Structure 1
Amino acid sequence: MKNIIYNMGYFLKEAKTIIQLNLLSNVFSVLSTGLIFFILAMVISGWWASSHVVELIKDEAEISVYYNEELDNDRILELIKNIKAIHGVQKVRSVDAIEAYHRMEEIMGKDAKVLEIFDDNPFSPFIEAQINLEEMNLVLEKLHEIQDIDHVRDNRAVLDRLKSISSIVKFLGTLVVTAVGISTLVITAHIIRQGVYSNREQINTLRLLGAPEGFIVLPFLLEGLLLTLGGGVLAAALAVFTLNNVYGQVVGQLPFIPLPAREVLVSGIIVLMLLISITLGILGSLFGLLTARSNCV
């Protein structure tokens, strides 16, 4: 280890020389790897954001319980107590017709003027219950057993769609990660094999002089690492630019979507891209060196 650290300047200089031998090809390799990593970063960002939205909706899952409006206050309080006692129900509160009207006004925004055509309040009072989404089926079954409940409205259909979208993004993310891993390994291995082949005479000379294998292969390992790291840095820069623009558009036009904090997502993507590029650079270089050994016998 001390020898490696002591000779690191030499190894970096040799890696630079190897890269310069096929400079144009290596530049295109960095660009192609960067674009591949950028696609990966966007897929991971989409998966991260969609999972965050689904988890928040799970935590805020609410159902609306409508009852006979002729019930007196005592019976309504009894209904609230019975609903609260159901396993899986977390919070319960009563929403009167006036509050329901104002909620719809906020949702409709400028289109709320259409509500003015009604002489009376068209909305009914209801009981709002926050529930554990995993217990939704059990909660709904218990609610149907309670007398004086006319209708229960839940957001299961919307949430199931969000879950499906999240699953699709996750599946696509897995495919993209696999494709990125394979393509990066192939590109890096090919570059290393070309470098070994171009320098086979120098490698054989070093072997005849008694140089250890680690001393010979380390510049090639650094070459692959630097190229993939360059692609990772390029992908991270493109991802930061894209995410900042996307967040600016979404927050400006759809402020009600609970996206994860931009700083957390951006910093996470940067770290992830650098770690992936370093890991794949080392693995691709080792694979390229392993397959190129026959060229330097």
Structure 2
Amino acid sequence: MSVKYFASETGTNLWRNRLMSLAAIFTVAISLSLVGSALLIKQGVSTATAEWKGNVQLLIFLQPKISPTEFKAVEDQLRQLPAVKSFSYVPRAQAYSDFRHLLANQPDLVNAVPKSAVPTFLRVSLVNPAETKAVAAIFQGQPGVDTVNDNFSAINTITTVSNVAQTVILAVAIILLVSAAVLILNVIRVAIFSRRREVAVMRLVGATNSFIQIPFMLEGLIQGLIGALVATGVVILVKSLIGYAISHFKMHLLGGFVLTNQNLIDTIAVIIFAGVVVGTLGSTIAVRRFLST
């Protein structure tokens, strides 16, 4: 009988305040969608960053008129450095082919650069990516060497921008979660106030505070849970869109941005837990404040 009563009262409360309940559910859904998306991005960026840093390469661009002696001196030095894992020479034909492939979506720029203007270079792989700057400094300005570039700085820039974006998203999500909790609190307060006479009668006939609280707490829990389920659908869609964008548009830079099913399961678990906590917390505060007066 108690279970049937609690279910009936909870459903009645939700229907009586359906507009405010919908507002609370949508607020929870939006905030948890942001939280879930930020968590997915964070996991994907962590995986991609590990792969990028494992593939850090140093490009030693050679001068057009480098002499055989200067070229041999650079090669010998690379062989002697313990920080160098391997290196290979990229001739002009291969360098020009790579250049055209990399900028295939900018034909005007590709056509404006003649093959003779593309320099030859040495592609160097390092044992420890953290030593990139130190190795680059050795060859910078050396006879026969034009410039030395690496992609370590670009990787760090991408990581920094991603971290800032995630922080902003999480901050907005937290603000919305607090707003959702307050909104649920107000929904429950309105529900209790509209039934204050019934609550007073229940108290007079000996109903305990716990018995009175449960329907209202279930109302908040359901609002938070429904919002979390909506957010779960959004997060699943976000994961699918990210995977589709990477594969369909051939975004090679994001090739290491891998999101596994386990990442998705972990994120969904966090979302549902947060939704239940927000809904229960808001309703609990509202009920306790009313019953303590």
- TM-score range relative to shorter protein: 0.7 to 0.9
Q: TM-score, normalised by structure 2?
A: 0.79
The TM-score normalised by the length of structure 1 is 0.78
CA 1:121 to 1:138, structure 2 compared with 1: closer, same or farther past 3 Å? Answer: closer
Whole-angstrom distance in 2 between the partners of 1:268 and 1:185: 23
Deviates more, 1:284-293 or 1:184-193: 284-293
Show the 5 A alignment for 1:188-203.
188-203=184-199
1:78 and 2:73 aligned: no
Partner of 1:54: 49
* 1:65–1:129 CA contact under 8 A, matched in 2: no
* Structure 1 counterpart of 2:215: 219
The Cα RMSD (Å) is 3.4
1:3 aligns to what?
none
Partner SS for 2:287: helix
Distance 1:267 1:71, change over 3 A: farther
Select which of 206, 213, 224 maps to 1:210: 206
SS in 1 for 2:68: coil
Q: Does 1:178 align with 2:174?
A: yes
How big is the shift at 1:264? 4.8
What are structure 2's unaligned runs of at least 5 residues? none
For residues 263 and 174 of structure 1, the distance between their equivalents in structure 2, rounded to whole angstroms, comes to 22
Alignment-derived partner of residue 227 in structure 2: 231
Are residues 77 and 137 of structure 1, via their aligned partners in 2, closer, same or farther at CA, if it must alter by over 3 Å? closer
Instruction: Give the structure 2 partner of residue 12 of structure 1.
Output: 7
Q: Which has the higher contact order (CA 8 A, sep 6+)?
A: 2
How far did residue 230 of structure 1 move?
0.7
Partner of 1:271: 269
C-alpha change, 1:210 and 1:138, in structure 2 (3 Å) is farther
Matched-pair contact (CA < 8 Å) for 1:229–1:274: yes
Cα pair 2:136 2:149 within 8 Å, conserved: no
Q: In the superposition, relative to structure 1, how do residues 10 and 135 fare at CA in structure 2: closer, same or farther (>3 Å)?
A: farther
CA contact (8 A) 1:65 1:151 kept: yes
1:94 is paired with a residue whose SS is strand
Q: Does 1:255 align with 2:255?
A: no
Deviates more, 1:120-129 or 1:192-201: 120-129
What does 1:99-110 align with in structure 2 at a 5 Å threshold? 99-109=94-104
Do residues 281 (structure 1) and 279 (structure 2) align? yes
- Paired residues in the alignment total 285
For 1:38, the equivalent position in structure 2 comes to 33
Sequence identity of aligned pairs in percent?
Answer: 17
